[in-house]
């Protein structure tokens, strides 16, 4: 089957686009079929049902809005998706198709929805090639649930624009406020505005960064020319989307209007009024966009400047949500370009994953979240080149042999303020007299960077040899049979007098110094134990009243040969506590 598409005869399978009719179950006249599935899984969706009609039947098809549909996580431009799908299907039907060639020659997804200047509500699918300027009239209706226009909540159903409120109720008349809240009163809206004037120094100058969820966007750029070089044809407006794709706006009609561009779900209108470029959109944007001005080198050499103002509204709190989990952090600065007299250095911003604390690509961080007052190029070494500090020789180290192993001494040296023209960088025995004669008051060099005057010396930088200390073994985990015992071990710095205090206070005052004990094996912190006394044999019956061990009855229970004595039943009863704990 072939049909005419934009003046060309193209083969196409019509069945791909026309919905299949849902016939009523059974053969009875006037019987409605069951409702179809919702046209979408999120957002505004529609259901249909059909019936065969006789002469008395008026409506053979009816629809209803799906209830309890969740909001789509990401705002989808339904018209843009349908344009891409249509062009792909037509292009794939034959490689001789003009759309096949256009699709493969264009940079990326060149086909976007076409919006006429009047932007009258329409339920026809019309597409626009942003590379070639070609307009494609598909002759098809948009899918059910597609907005009639980018500035309205009305939706298309069966090719007819139906009035719908922002609450997804047909005919409710409810409207969104300035920041997109349904039936809101603007009390949760936040107006963001920026204004600056700048001399053009690069061929591309950033004008504004518009975040996700932005409404009522307006950007005004005024060109301030010094030379009489016309800016018409020498300047372009660039809009970069979240995929870093540039949408170029440079063609204006006789009234100064450029074609409406649909970018990130928002229709942008651009006008050129003499020295001004005005860009505005109702919004909302589905992702961050960056608006820039591109110019030629002759305009830059002519000393042109721009004055820019930008504004948008956004619901309070949405700006932080749009920034996501990636954030900007300052990185270490580069070396200064000059040692004195004033230089510059770059301090870069890096993008980090705030959850994993890892560096990621800069593309993941939003430009709107970049610190506004952050200076990437900063001044450094602004001190005068005329004066400088020079350092003398290091004095003898204060460390003496016999000190404890962890201690060390210090060394000091003197500084002298001299003229840089003296040509001396370090005081030696040969030039010290010349340095003393040319030394200036310290106040002269107060703004100069000072070399180090004190440093540690002698001794050992590592810890003293460590020593393991440990607590007593815990009681056996079982009252009868085999169990386990535990104790805690810590590595401490061995005192110089070799007297290791008791373990318990060490837990509170000594740090854990595992490196100091690497030479020795750590003591065991767990061992097995067995309790044989007090166990009731399976051949014996339990007594009606059981005797409970309260405490040792005799002083001699603290015997050295405890294990041997505890085998005696009488001793074990009088010293039950000691025998039980195995002390």
The CATH architecture to which 189-322 belongs is Sandwich (2.60)
Among the ranges given (224-233, 371-380, 496-505), the one the predictor scored with the smallest mean pLDDT: 496-505
How many angstroms separate the CA atoms of 8 and 96, rounded?
A: 12
Q: Is the pLDDT of residue 17 over 50?
A: no
How many angstroms separate the CA atoms of 174 and 178, rounded?
A: 13
pLDDT tens string 208-217 = 889 888 999 9
Fold classification of 466-531 (topology level): TSP-1 type 1 repeat (2.20.100)
pLDDT tens string 385-443 = 888 899 988 888 877 655 555 456 788 888 999 988 888 888 888 888 888 888 888 88
**Average pLDDT rounded to a whole number, residues 377-390:** 82
- Phi, psi (rounded to 5 degrees) for 444: -65, -35
pLDDT tens string 509-526 = 344 444 456 555 566 677
Q: Please tell me the predicted confidence (pLDDT) of residue 164.
A: 92
> How many CA atoms does the CB half-sphere of 575 hold within 13 Å?
23
Q: Is the pLDDT of residue 495 over 90?
A: no
How many angstroms separate the CA atoms of 464 and 403, rounded?
A: 12
Distance of CA 58 to the CA centre of its chain: 57
Q: Please tell me the predicted confidence (pLDDT) of residue 533.
A: 61
Say if residues 69 and 45 touch (Cβ distance below 8 Å).
Answer: yes
How many angstroms separate the CA atoms of 423 and 415, rounded?
A: 16
Q: What CATH number belongs to 1-114+135-173?
A: 2.20.100.10
% residues pLDDT > 70 (the chain): 73
DSSP 242-273: TT--EEEE----TTSBPPPEEETTEEEEEEEE
- Phi, psi (rounded to 5 degrees) for 250: -140, -15
Q: Please tell me the predicted confidence (pLDDT) of residue 534.
A: 57
pLDDT tens string 240-254 = 888 888 888 888 888
How many angstroms separate the CA atoms of 507 and 120, rounded?
A: 79
- For residue 114, the SS3 value is coil
- In b/e form, how buried is each residue of 315-344, taking b as 16+ CB within 10 angstroms? beebbeebbeebbbeeeeeeebeeebeeee
Q: Please tell me the predicted confidence (pLDDT) of residue 483.
A: 80
Distance of CA 517 to the CA centre of its chain: 43
Q: Please tell me the predicted confidence (pLDDT) of residue 464.
A: 58
Do the first three CATH levels of 1-114+135-173 and 189-322 match, i.e. the same topology? no
Nearby residues of 567 by Cβ (< 8 Å), 6 or more positions away: none
Which of these, 375, 331, 324, lies nearest to 349 by C-alpha position? Answer: 331
**Average pLDDT rounded to a whole number, residues 16-38:** 61
% residues pLDDT > 90 (the chain): 11
The residue extents of the domains of the chain are 1-114+135-173, 189-322, 326-380, 466-531, 556-583
- Strands 155-157 and 160-162, by their bridges, are antiparallel
Beta bridge partners of 434: none
Instruction: Using alpha carbons, list the distances in angstroms from residue 148 to 45, 154, 163, 241, 353.
Output: 14, 6, 9, 23, 39
Say if residues 182 and 167 touch (Cβ distance below 8 Å).
Answer: yes
pLDDT tens string 530-571 = 777 656 544 444 444 445 676 676 666 766 667 677 877 777
Q: Mean pLDDT of all residues in the chain?
A: 77
Q: Please tell me the predicted confidence (pLDDT) of residue 55.
A: 61
Instruction: Please report which confidence band the pLDDT of residue 317 belongs to, taking 50, 70 and 90 as the band edges.
Output: confident
How many angstroms separate the CA atoms of 210 and 196, rounded?
A: 16
Say if residues 534 and 482 touch (Cβ distance below 8 Å).
Answer: no
How many angstroms separate the CA atoms of 335 and 344, rounded?
A: 9
**Tokens 């042999």 belong to which residue?**
401
**Average pLDDT rounded to a whole number, residues 250-276:** 87
């Amino acid at each position: 089957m072939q049909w005419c598409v934009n003046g060309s005869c193209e083969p196409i399978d019509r069945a791909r686009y026309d919905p299949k009719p849902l016939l009523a179950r059974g053969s009875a006249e006037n019987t409605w079929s069951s409702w179809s599935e919702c046209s979408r899984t999120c957002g505004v969706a529609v259901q249909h049902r059909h019936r065969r009609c006789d002469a008395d039947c008026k409506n053979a098809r009816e629809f209803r809005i799906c209830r309890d549909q969740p909001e789509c996580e990401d705002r989808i431009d339904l018209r843009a998706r349908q344009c891409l799908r249509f062009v792909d299907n037509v292009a794939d039907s034959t490689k001789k198709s003009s759309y096949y060639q256009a699709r493969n020659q264009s940079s990326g997804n060149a086909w976007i929805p076409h919006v006429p200047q009047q932007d009258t509500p329409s339920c026809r699918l019309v597409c626009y090639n942003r590379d070639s300027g070609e307009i494609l009239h598909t002759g098809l209706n948009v899918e059910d649930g597609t907005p009639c226009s980018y500035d309205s909540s009305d939706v298309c159903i069966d090719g007819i624009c139906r009035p719908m409120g922002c609450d997804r109720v047909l005919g409710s008349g409810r409207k969104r406020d300035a920041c997109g809240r349904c039936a809101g009163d603007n009390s949760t809206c936040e107006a963001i505005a920026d204004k600056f004037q700048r001399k053009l120094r690069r061929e591309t100058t950033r004008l504004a960064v518009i975040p996700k969820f932005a409404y009522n966007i307006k950007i005004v750029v005024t060109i301030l020319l010094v030379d009489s070089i016309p800016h018409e044809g020498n300047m372009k407006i660039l809009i970069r989307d979240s995929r870093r794709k540039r949408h170029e706006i440079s063609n204006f009609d006789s009234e100064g209007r450029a074609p409406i561009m649909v970018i990130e779900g928002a229709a942008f209108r651009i006008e050129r009024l003499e020295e001004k470029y005005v860009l505005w959109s109702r919004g909302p944007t589905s992702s961050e966009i960056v608006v820039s001005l591109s110019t030629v080198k002759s305009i830059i050499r002519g000393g042109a400047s721009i004055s820019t103002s930008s504004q948008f509204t956004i619901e309070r709190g949405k700006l932080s949500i749009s920034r996501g989990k990636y954030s900007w952090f300052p990185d270490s600065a580069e070396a200064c370009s000059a040692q004195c007299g004033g230089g510059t250095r770059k301090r870069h911003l890096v993008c980090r994953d705030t959850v994993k604390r890892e560096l990621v690509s800069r593309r993941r961080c939003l430009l709107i979240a970049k610190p506004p007052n952050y200076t990437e190029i900063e001044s450094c070494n602004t001190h005068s080149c005329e004066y400088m500090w020079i350092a003398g020789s290091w004095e003898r180290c204060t460390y003496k042999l016999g000190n404890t192993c962890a201690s060390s001494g210090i060394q000091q040296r003197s500084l002298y303020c001299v003229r840089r023209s003296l040509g001396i960088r370090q005081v030696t025995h040969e030039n010290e007299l010349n340095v003393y004669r040319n030394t200036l008051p310290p106040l002269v060099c107060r703004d100069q960077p000072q070399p180090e005057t004190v440093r540690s010396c002698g001794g050992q930088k590592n810890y003293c040899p460590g020593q393991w200390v440990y607590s007593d073994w815990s009681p056996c985990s079982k009252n009868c049979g085999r169990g386990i015992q535990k104790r805690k071990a810590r590595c401490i710095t061995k005192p110089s007098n070799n007297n290791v205090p008791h373990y318990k206070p060490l837990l509170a005052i000594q740090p854990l110094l595992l490196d100091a004990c690497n030479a020795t094996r750590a003591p065991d912190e767990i061992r097995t134990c067995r309790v044989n006394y007090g166990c009731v044999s399976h051949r014996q019956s339990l007594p009606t009243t059981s005797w409970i061990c309260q405490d040792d009855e005799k002083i001699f229970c603290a015997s050295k040969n405890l294990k041997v004595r505890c085998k005696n039943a009488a001793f074990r009863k009088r010293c039950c506590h000691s025998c039980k704990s195995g002390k």
